[in-house]
Structures are given as structure tokens and as C-alpha cells.
Amino acid sequence: MKSRASIPDITSAQLWVVETAVKERFGAGVVEVQVADSDIRLDPADREMTSCPTLYWTDGIAHFVIFKVGDGLYRSQFFYSKREQYGTGRREYDDLAECVSLLLKMEADQRSVRAA
């Protein structure tokens, strides 16, 4: 596994950005955003995984993750199960607010498709 020495930890300001967006979507106190680490391939051709700081939350239906893959660089996805995993159509973001807002919007859209 590659070291994540070059990837800074999640800051309190970054956590606040995500928590604020999540509260707007689900309501205050409903969903807890957790800070974790995830082992991912930064490039599909990489043989080794890289440990990346991660923000994770679930509302009991969908699970959401935002990976910090560099200084000010983020990737995101949501999933309902191992078979139902979705991205936003964009590989990386350099704006965390845009990353989380699009992630939440895409999941809301997918949720309405699943309900139909």
C-alpha cells in the first residue's frame, strides 16, 4: 500500500462544508458524517492502493463517501449495495462544496428513479 503522506488530513473547515450540506438535505441531527480512511487506487492502472482520508455518511438507504485524493482534490460516490454503486460522472473535484452538493443531487435523482 502506498503512503498517503502527501495527502493532508480532512480539516475541520472541510468537515463543516460537508456537514452543512448534509444537514440541509436530511435535517439537523439525522445523519452523522464520519471521518475515516479508505484504501483506493488513485489511478486504475495502479497496482497498489493508497490510503486516503474519507468522509462517510448514510441515511439508512444510501451510503455516501468523499475521498480526499490530494491537497484540495476530491472524488465521490454513493451506493445502495455492492451491486448498486454510482458516481457523479466527474472523476475529481477541486471544490469540496461542489463535490458534496452534486453528490447529494445525483443520489436524490437516483432515489426518485428507484422509487418509480
Per-residue model confidence (pLDDT) at position 6? 83
What pTM does this model have?
A: 0.92
**Pair 64, 41: CB distance under 8 Å:** no
Give tens-digit pLDDT for 45-88.
Answer: 888 899 999 999 999 999 999 999 999 999 999 999 999 999 99
Q: Domain-by-domain residue ranges, the chain?
A: 12-115
47 burial via Cβ count (<10 Å: 0-12, 13-18, 19+)? exposed
pLDDT at 1 over 60: no
Mean pLDDT of 105-111: 96
26 against 47, higher pLDDT: 26
